[in-house]
Structure 1
């Protein structure tokens, strides 16, 4: 295969491997959540919300502190993403200006390089937007979870738990965008490192995203006692 055509074959192949893994992960989260860390964490967060909202006035400080920690984590990732996006924009702009006089008709080098930087920029912008959306949900939950009128109302508690899980899912999406930035960054050095990184990352993420039988058993034992508000 010609060296110039490697980008057209290996890059889509690497993205396909990365995308297929996350399609499988999404299917597992929706249909067999106990097999994934995200599914177990979503159930634990729901149980935590039911436990805290049995007495919102008594547990209000703990609720706000816990949500504040989550907001700080999302803020850190959002700040990092927008900073990296700004740096990439400045780098591409300066490079385009300096290379404008050297651009020869038919030369594709600058075009491919621009696509690589643009893909990285979009990746970090998606991470920024997902983390901002996560902050929005966490801030909204901090108000809803401390309302004394929600005590004993299952529909209100379910709504709070659902919004908290949405905030966590957006945080996970932002983190996945950071994971995707690694193979996109290695694409600058060539399509072969990019493909290798996609395969290695999908293999590593499988062990990070799936649960063991021991973990599932611990979670089942912790979920045996249903919160009292579930009977309301």
Structure 2
């Protein structure tokens, strides 16, 4: 097989495998949220917002500190993403007309056009990660104000609104983290399509075990939710 044929076959297969996995993940999160970690975390955040806003005078400091920790995590990822984007831009501009010795380790097309596509794909991943983490910081900062607003337990609309904004911030944080995950196969694509394809397959299986839940986790989570609902009902009475 020619070198360019290896790129044309393995690279779309690897990216297609990861894209199909994430399509399945989105479908499972929407239709069966309790089977995924993201779905269970979203339900837990709803309960957390309910417990924090039920007594903001008592839990206000704890809520703001928790949101602040999330803002710091998003800030760290955003700073890392924009720093790596700047480094890649400087590196590409300084070596645009030079051949990379590392690309000769495995079969791969070594033309300048393909090298530009590789670095542009990596740069795009980091830019997406930066923008998503900035949006995450925006939602977290908004929630830090709303979570300390006094409300009543029987008024669920403000609580649902705060929980929805918190879940949106977490969603953008997860998308930014996925962009970092996608950058690993693209980095290995510099050394050739074979390491990139192997990395896509391995990462998809690793993410499957990280994203899905076991029956024990689901039962434990449902038990904690029932216990929290019963205690809240007793307090309301």
Common topology (TM > 0.5): yes
Q: Offset at 1:39? A: 0.4
Q: Offset at 1:229? A: 11
Give the TM-score of the pair, scaled to structure 2. Answer: 0.90
Q: Offset at 1:35? A: 0.6
Distance 2:92 2:236 in 1: 58
Distance 2:235 2:37 in 1: 24
Q: Secondary structure at the match of 1:116?
A: helix
* Residue 90 of structure 1: aligned partner: 90
* Residue 42 of structure 2: aligned partner: 42
Alignment of 1:62-141 (within 5 A): 62-96=62-96, 99=98, 109-141=111-143
* Residue 212 of structure 2: aligned partner: 210
Distance 2:167 2:29 in 1: 13
Distance 1:30 1:207 in 2: 18
Contact 1:78 1:128 in 2 (8 A): yes
1:42-96: per-residue Cα shift (whole Å, max 9, x none)? 0000000001100112211000000000001111111100000000000000012
Q: Which runs of 4+ in 1 moved over 4 A?
A: 228-232
Distance 1:222 1:2 in 2: 58
Distance 1:151 1:64 in 2: 19
Aligned length: 224
Task: Mark the runs of 5 or more structure 1 residues left unpaired by the alignment.
Answer: 101-106
Distance 1:108 1:175 in 2: 30
Distance 1:18 1:158 in 2: 33
Task: Mark the runs of 5 or more structure 2 residues left unpaired by the alignment.
Answer: 100-108
Distance 1:6 1:230 in 2: 65
* Residue 31 of structure 1: aligned partner: 31
Distance 1:186 1:50 in 2: 44
Distance 1:13 1:230 in 2: 55
Give the TM-score of the pair, scaled to structure 1. Answer: 0.92
